[in-house]
Structure 1
Amino acid sequence: MRQIKFINSNWLYRAEFKEEYINGNINENDFTKVDIPHTNIELPYNYFDEREYQFISCYAKRLNLDSNNKGKKIYVDFEGVMLACDVYLNGNHITSHKGGYTPFSADITDFIKYDEENILVVKVDSTERKDIPPYGNVVDYLTYGGIYREVSLRIVDQTHINNIYTRTYNCLEESKKLEVDVEINNCGNDDKFNVSVQLLDNENVLYSVEKELEINKDMSINTLQIDDIKGLELWDLDNPKLYSVKVELRKDNEVIDSYSDRIGFRDAKFTTEGFYLNGKLTKIVGLNRHQSYPYVGYAMPERVQKKDVEILKYDLGLNLVRTSHYPQSRHFLDRCDEVGILVFEEIPGWQHIGDLDWQALAIKDVEDMIKRDYNRPSVILWGVRINESQDNHDFYTRTNKLARELDPVRQTGGVRYIHKSEFLEDVFTLNDFAHNGGERVFITQKEATGLDYKVPYLVTESNGHMYPTKSFDHEAKAVEHAHRHLRVINEVLGSEEISGTISWCAFDYNTHSCFGSGDKICYHGVMDMFRNKKYAAYSYASQKDCKDGIVLEAITEACRGERDGGGIIPFSILTNCDYVKIYKDGEYINEYHPDRNTYKNLEHPPINVYHILSSDLNLPVSDEDKNAIRNFVINKVKTGNLVDLTPEDYNFFGQIAARANITVPMILGVVYKLAGGWGEKENMLTIEGYINGEAVISKTIGELRWRSGIEVIPDDTVLSIDKTSYDATRVVVKIVDSLGNPLKFNNEFVEVEIDGPAKVMGPSKFGLVAGTSAFWIRTIGEAGEVKIKVKGMYFESEAKIDII
């Protein structure tokens, strides 16, 4: 039977490579002990030299295998090494691999010394080699370096299962079908074996089939089928039901190998009418994701990878993620399967297409990507075109052909920004950056395709570099950023020719010098690099059903000095409540409802506040004139002209003043003050959100506030040492005001102290960004309680995590 042993602890690492290391001539004093995932160098948050990670390094691991394993096949399985590598065992070259985003195996069987120490050495080339995708020209992201995904030892019989590929059919019918290709590697002689396939729900066998097969030497594919499957639940966004397929290989009634994977029964198809999931027309609303993190680049373990999925699904309410621009961690995709979020997965690349050898590597990426993630119900579309590249008929004919041969069920897409590009895929996928703040949000499908007929069509990027926004930007920019994302969502929900939109992007990310803001960061995310929300994140979160979490966020600092021209109105509230009530300094002002005229297609349009005038107005005028003044203010604020009055406006106020025997300046003074302008004491607003007539949430914002303390909030309060690698979690740090809100313009310095069996990933001293930041801590192989203390300039706070 197979054995899988994860070998992620206690590697030796050196940031250079010498030929003498191949033969195991390694002085441990010259090396550092590291655990996998590992980045070849920790980088600063920003303003670093991107060449810092572009070097050749050495990893070494001591392996001990006893003679009980003789006669077995033994592989070292690498999940991701950036960007190229050579693997050696005991001085023997085992294999080379080019490309950092797909797994590969090193067969070390013939070079093992049993019952004594073996030295596994990996030469890792993290230079940006032009012969390997995505490189060859400029690339708008960093690839970092190192053995940044897990490594395992696989011990199997001479004849063993290499992989399985499952396909489900007739998912919308009562009687379903399961087809399983079993890829068997026979390193012995031709022989007969029994192969069985079981469909399980948890540990319960639902259906099974078995065949005796002649297994030829070398690699072969053997197909088994289960018909008339009934009574199953479909994998869906709200009910991501997973089953297991278990394949066993027997010889003389003895199980010599067993292989399992999870699957889901679901029907997913892009059509000219839109995207259908299980027969239901489903609008796609998603974001693109880079798999990078501050300081450690790509090197994050399982829990942190999965947390990103939970952010996208639960915090933002998305139903799809695009793995821009490469296959991402299996842990990330595992969680997509588990929670019900769709995936558009694509091969590595960015605009550039290299020579024929380069293209051959890209075609291999297509194969490796599909084979790795074949069984995932979350993956609905294979991206077989280099992101934003020029047309290349021969190359893309080959990538599409291979994808369809490997997977006859899923469709292909190819992300382009060129209009009227050659359409070889099943779905025309376009990066559409037409929206620049004006009325036009997307181009038409015909403009995009140049075709006189409709095709399956998906917008794969928008916004992003068109309006980069930092978490600490001026309020007006942050607000416009949020509204641009709202317009994109609104437009796609109302479109009959677009299946959905995947905006750019979820998180800020490090990039090369020719992109970003000059500090090696693209501030294109709706969240920052630490996964903290900008206003635009609430454009998505507010569209959630309230049963999935109530959202109420006024996207304003409510401070008149932050606004051009002063005042605090107008402002928007992003919420999934039915309506809100606002109180100013404790006095009820009004009830406010969503703007369904501007955002006709949103489930939860923003609520726009154009006045905060009390019903009394503190003026000795009639109720009719009070209503007239309030409506005047609302109309003027909507056009931005409250302080730019016309002669007709003065005449309007003059008539009211004459009727009440007061002066026009008296009316204007009250209006400007009560509308939140200059000359009034601090404005404090309490916003109550209502659902079905009941108050369900409340938030207070305004000017009368002060720094109150530090919040230290771990994503997880329990970590495990029983993992395939080290465990880790994020800890959010906020400087908050007396109302509990983060202080957006605070950037003070904080220091982290750890007491217990854990350590900080990255620096333990850093400045806050927009009053908020985060850091990650990881386990070090021991159980116990961890006390985390964060000290600021004026406050300190603690949190605890248990490691079990």
Structure 2
Amino acid sequence: MELLSKIKIFILSLFVGVCLFSCQKSNNVHFKINSEWKFKLLDKDDNNEAQFENVDFNDSNWETVNLPHTAHLEPLIVNNQWQGICWYRKSFDLPLVDDDKKVFVEFEAAMSHSVIWINGVEVAMHKGGYLPVVIDATKYIVKGQTNTIAVRLNNTDNPLTGPKPLAKLDFNMYGGLYRNAWLSVKDKLYISHPAIANKVAGGGVFITYPKVSKDLSEIAIKTNVVNEFTSDKTIKVTQKILFDNKEVQSKTTSDISIQSGKDIDVSMNITLPNAKLWSPKQPNLYSLETSIIVDGNIIDQETTRFGIRKFEFKNKELFINGEKTFLRGVNRHQEYPFVGYALSDNAQYRDAKKIKDAGFNYIRLSHYPQSPSFLDACDELGLVVLDAILGWQYYLDNDQFRAYCYKSAEQLIRRDRNHPSVLAWEVSLNETQMPVFFMEELDRIVHAEYPGENVYSSGWMDDVYDIYLQARQHRILSPHKLKDKPYSVSEYGDWEYYSKNAGLNQDQLPNDLRDEFSSRQKRAFGEERLLRQAANVQEAHNDNLQNTVAFSDSYWVMYDYNRGYHNDIEASGLMDIFRLPKFAYYFYQSQRDIEDGAVVKIASYWNKKSPLNLKVYSNCDELALYLNDELIGKQKPDTDKNSSDLSHPPFTFNLKSFKAGTLKAVGYVDGKEVKIDEVTTPGNPTALKIWIDTSGKKPEAGVNDVLFVYVAAVDENGTIVPDYSEKVTFEIEGDASMQNVGEIKAEAGIATGLLKIGTKKGKIKIVAKSNKIEQTYEINL
């Protein structure tokens, strides 16, 4: 389809959308502008940027892309990540916007130093690549004509924003407009955007909970309303609470006068009997419709999703809505292979769903603000979040750097304060020596931006913050009496089993053995090393539980990731970078309560190389193990020193010898069979098996969706052959493309392609080939 035709369709869609919206509610619209951007990546020796920002610049030879978008596709192992300058341009019409309308443009993120022009006029300059850039574009937009947005991005090392230079950073900061972009049209009397209202504990709609109880909860709502008309206005504000799209409570103010050129905060409290509270077990969500009414007409309306909950500490133990809760968690980097940070909203949800399915109820977002859509998923799934500003082993002793950190803390809280999943704000520079006055100001900002009780700052030093974060290796190396504050094991299970300075005698091991016994294990390394990783995390998690002052722990890390400078992937993930599970994943899954689903997983491929001390991860009371339908044994869980405090210790069966065939584990709860797992000795590969990773979200056209396509070599019984490591090729028919850079090879029997879905609905045909074996898979959108 030609660009001109697409612009016409965009204009028509906008017209229809505005009409529908205005007939039903207000005259205002809020929509994504992710499609049809023009993109140019500058070569290192290309200094010609002349006129790129101008309306009449000819960008016809630039690449056409959709957001979210990465500036540069990277290889699987990234140790020389692209850094430099890139440009985005978009032209659009707003045919229905008159002089009484406001226009706002928002980028959820732009990595990392951005300059933005509208119709050739510079309107914004922003430093930092993780928080939103929001622009009041009203006076720059030309009504009824074509408008142009131009964005210049520079993701080279920036000493002001930090952290360390990429060459030694230990994670990547991928370039591009890698999240959503939005355009909003409002009347000149409107609900403000908190990112540009610049009001402490204000701007937009802010929801808090003075009283939380199943019997009767109280919701406090503060709404900032701006009047940019030339005359005073009289308004009413209606707050309507809905659950499952049904109204459960509403309240309207009496007439309120708002002067021309002024803004006001409208506060309202609503009581809600028999409230459905939010918790990890029951993540109940309400919607709040905030309507601004003038002369009986709704002139602005926003919907805010929220959950009613209370996080409270008693004797350093966490209580959620009065119920004592231990948070079993994990850290997460937001990286995908090849596309870096450019994940669709669906992909963000899939990442969160895997974490929930792994048995976790908590995520530490390391070490930067992550996508709003990821936090939305945490709200929906019941994952408690530790929300963080950017910071890792970097502090610059000047006022400009400190001001940047302070502003980041303010904007993070203003962006995420209505998410019920957020427990605390990590306004700390991780593993960084910080002066006390700096930490005190960050702590002050937290309590100023979110006033009231049960609000918590957190940080890795115990001087100031409400919650003390400490990695397990630091506790091992420097044990000391903890201060009287809640304590979380923020990272564990990796470094103390890898580094020579982590306190577990690794300095006495040669490097090759240190690697073998560490938690950094790829799926290709085989059963024994994967079981060592699982043993490490079991020992460490059990140790955390013995340290009874901790209310939470978070394993490092959920997914393998690139370090940016190293010749290999950091492989301590419970899943690899393609989101395929390792044995340690099933250990954690087995720690969930039985009412959340029975787990039985045999941690073996059951071939001649398999260990005979067989591990089975389960949350059942008792397991029976069979080999070729012959009972090997029926037993209770392990009772060794590394199982003493676990909710559900693993089961270890000691087999005398290997015999090919089928292992079957049968799980019992209260004497009743509840779950079975089987593993069959693999034979020679005879076919390919293809499946896709949906994790609660089906593939979707028109949203730049990315998802994993898995191809396994299987034997005649359909068993995956773990020794298979051959090359696999893909052929795609339909509106989709593979994003892999370089050849694709199977690892532990499975090869993975990263598929990007295009804009058209219909059928996508995937043909996978390997060693003259071929298989076809179809996706219907």
TM-score class, shorter? 0.7 to 0.9
Task: Name the structure 1 match of 2:525.
Answer: 473
Tell me the SS of whatever aligns to 2:408: helix
1:333 aligned partner, one-letter code: L
- In the alignment, structure 1 residue 424 sits paired with structure 2 residue 405: no
Residue from 179, 182, 195 that aligns with 1:149: 179
- In the alignment, structure 1 residue 551 sits paired with structure 2 residue 585: no
- In the alignment, structure 1 residue 107 sits paired with structure 2 residue 136: yes
Q: Distance in 2 between matches of 1:171 and 1:488?
A: 35
Residue from 403, 414, 423 that aligns with 1:371: 414
Q: Deviations over 1:11-33 (max 9, x none)?
A: 10000261311113533343000
- Equivalent pair of 1:86/1:124 in contact (CA under 8 Å): yes
2:121 aligned partner, one-letter code: N
C-alpha displacement of 1:88 = 0.6
Pairwise CA RMSD: 2.4
Larger Rg: 1
- Equivalent pair of 1:415/1:431 in contact (CA under 8 Å): no
C-alpha displacement of 1:760 = 2.3
- Equivalent pair of 2:241/2:288 in contact (CA under 8 Å): yes
Q: Deviations over 1:111-157 (max 9, x none)?
A: 22222222211011121212113346842210100000011111111
2:473 aligned partner, one-letter code: F
Q: Distance in 1 between matches of 2:215 and 2:93?
A: 52
Task: Name the structure 2 match of 1:140.
Answer: 170
Task: Name the structure 2 match of 1:39.
Answer: 70
- In the alignment, structure 1 residue 797 sits paired with structure 2 residue 778: no
Q: Distance in 2 between matches of 1:221 and 1:374?
A: 20
Task: Name the structure 2 match of 1:171.
Answer: 212
Tell me the SS of whatever aligns to 1:433: helix
Q: Which moved more, 1:95-104 or 1:748-757?
A: 748-757
Tell me the SS of whatever aligns to 2:550: coil
- Equivalent pair of 2:330/2:555 in contact (CA under 8 Å): yes
Task: Name the structure 2 match of 1:594.
Answer: 637
- Equivalent pair of 1:353/1:386 in contact (CA under 8 Å): yes
C-alpha displacement of 1:180 = 1.2
Q: Distance in 1 between matches of 2:630 and 2:237?
A: 75
- In the alignment, structure 1 residue 195 sits paired with structure 2 residue 237: yes
Q: Which moved more, 1:543-552 or 1:74-83?
A: 543-552
Q: Distance in 1 between matches of 2:685 and 2:133?
A: 52
C-alpha displacement of 1:230 = 1.1
Tell me the SS of whatever aligns to 2:447: helix
- Equivalent pair of 1:387/1:414 in contact (CA under 8 Å): no
- In the alignment, structure 1 residue 459 sits paired with structure 2 residue 497: no
- In the alignment, structure 1 residue 604 sits paired with structure 2 residue 665: no
Tell me the SS of whatever aligns to 1:390: coil
Q: Distance in 2 between matches of 1:556 and 1:352?
A: 43
2:228 aligned partner, one-letter code: C
C-alpha displacement of 1:3 = 0.8
Q: 1:131 to 1:741 in 2, by over 3 A?
A: farther
Q: Distance in 2 between matches of 1:270 and 1:353?
A: 31
Q: Deviations over 1:17-76 (max 9, x none)?
A: 6131111353334300000000000001015422x2x11111000111225433211111
Q: Deviations over 1:359-407 (max 9, x none)?
A: 2111111111111111111111111111111132121111111111111
Return 5+ residue gaps in structure 1 as ranges. Answer: 435-441, 563-567, 613-674
- Equivalent pair of 1:464/1:525 in contact (CA under 8 Å): no
Q: Distance in 2 between matches of 1:69 and 1:14?
A: 33
Task: Name the structure 2 match of 1:185.
Answer: 226
- In the alignment, structure 1 residue 382 sits paired with structure 2 residue 363: no
Tell me the SS of whatever aligns to 1:732: strand
Q: 1:399 to 1:188 in 2, by over 3 A?
A: farther
Q: Distance in 2 between matches of 1:114 and 1:406?
A: 37
Q: 1:157 to 1:479 in 2, by over 3 A?
A: same
Residue from 264, 269, 272 that aligns with 1:229: 272
Task: Name the structure 1 match of 2:376.
Answer: 334
Tell me the SS of whatever aligns to 1:754: strand
2:141 aligned partner, one-letter code: I
Residue from 529, 534, 537 that aligns with 1:485: 537
- Equivalent pair of 1:687/1:700 in contact (CA under 8 Å): yes
Q: Distance in 2 between matches of 1:286 and 1:344?
A: 10
For 1:173-322, what aligned pairs fall within 5 Å after superposition? 174-189=215-230, 191-201=233-243, 202-215=245-258, 220=263, 222-314=265-357, 316-322=358-364
Q: 1:195 to 1:585 in 2, by over 3 A?
A: closer
1:181 aligned partner, one-letter code: K
Residue from 589, 599, 618 that aligns with 1:541: 589
Tell me the SS of whatever aligns to 2:438: helix
- Equivalent pair of 2:683/2:721 in contact (CA under 8 Å): no
Tell me the SS of whatever aligns to 2:583: coil
1:425 aligned partner, one-letter code: Y
- In the alignment, structure 1 residue 509 sits paired with structure 2 residue 538: no
Q: Distance in 2 between matches of 1:327 and 1:100?
A: 9
Q: Which moved more, 1:64-73 or 1:130-139?
A: 130-139
- In the alignment, structure 1 residue 411 sits paired with structure 2 residue 459: no
Q: 1:285 to 1:219 in 2, by over 3 A?
A: farther
Q: 1:535 to 1:216 in 2, by over 3 A?
A: farther
Task: Name the structure 1 match of 2:367.
Answer: 325
Task: Name the structure 2 match of 1:676.
Answer: 657
Tell me the SS of whatever aligns to 1:536: helix
Q: Which moved more, 1:593-602 or 1:160-169?
A: 593-602
Q: 1:549 to 1:712 in 2, by over 3 A?
A: farther
- Equivalent pair of 1:552/1:573 in contact (CA under 8 Å): yes
2:753 aligned partner, one-letter code: F
Q: Distance in 1 between matches of 2:554 and 2:315?
A: 18
Tell me the SS of whatever aligns to 1:69: coil
Q: Which moved more, 1:104-113 or 1:186-195?
A: 186-195
Tell me the SS of whatever aligns to 2:411: helix
Return 5+ residue gaps in structure 2 as ranges. Answer: 1-26, 43-47, 193-203, 499-517
Residue from 109, 113, 137 that aligns with 1:84: 113
C-alpha displacement of 1:216 = 5.0
Tell me the SS of whatever aligns to 1:424: coil
- Equivalent pair of 2:205/2:223 in contact (CA under 8 Å): yes
Tell me the SS of whatever aligns to 1:236: coil
- Equivalent pair of 2:740/2:753 in contact (CA under 8 Å): yes
For 1:585-734, what aligned pairs fall within 5 Å after superposition? 585-598=628-641, 599-610=643-654, 612=655, 675-676=656-657, 682=660, 685-701=663-679, 705-716=683-694, 718-721=698-701, 725-734=703-712
- Equivalent pair of 1:37/1:299 in contact (CA under 8 Å): yes
Q: 1:326 to 1:448 in 2, by over 3 A?
A: farther
C-alpha displacement of 1:237 = 1.6
C-alpha displacement of 1:592 = 3.0
Q: Which moved more, 1:582-591 or 1:334-343?
A: 582-591
C-alpha displacement of 1:343 = 0.6
C-alpha displacement of 1:544 = 2.5
Q: 1:702 to 1:176 in 2, by over 3 A?
A: closer
- Equivalent pair of 2:600/2:667 in contact (CA under 8 Å): yes
- In the alignment, structure 1 residue 775 sits paired with structure 2 residue 756: no
Task: Name the structure 2 match of 1:751.
Answer: 729
C-alpha displacement of 1:455 = 1.9
C-alpha displacement of 1:9 = 0.7
Tell me the SS of whatever aligns to 1:23: coil
Residue from 147, 172, 177 that aligns with 1:118: 147
Q: Distance in 2 between matches of 1:791 and 1:281?
A: 53
- In the alignment, structure 1 residue 351 sits paired with structure 2 residue 404: no
1:187 aligned partner, one-letter code: E
Tell me the SS of whatever aligns to 2:352: helix
Q: Distance in 1 between matches of 2:313 and 2:769?
A: 52
Q: Distance in 2 between matches of 1:68 and 1:24?
A: 19
Q: 1:217 to 1:414 in 2, by over 3 A?
A: farther
Q: 1:704 to 1:212 in 2, by over 3 A?
A: closer
Tell me the SS of whatever aligns to 1:411: coil
Q: 1:70 to 1:802 in 2, by over 3 A?
A: farther
Identity of aligned residues (%): 27
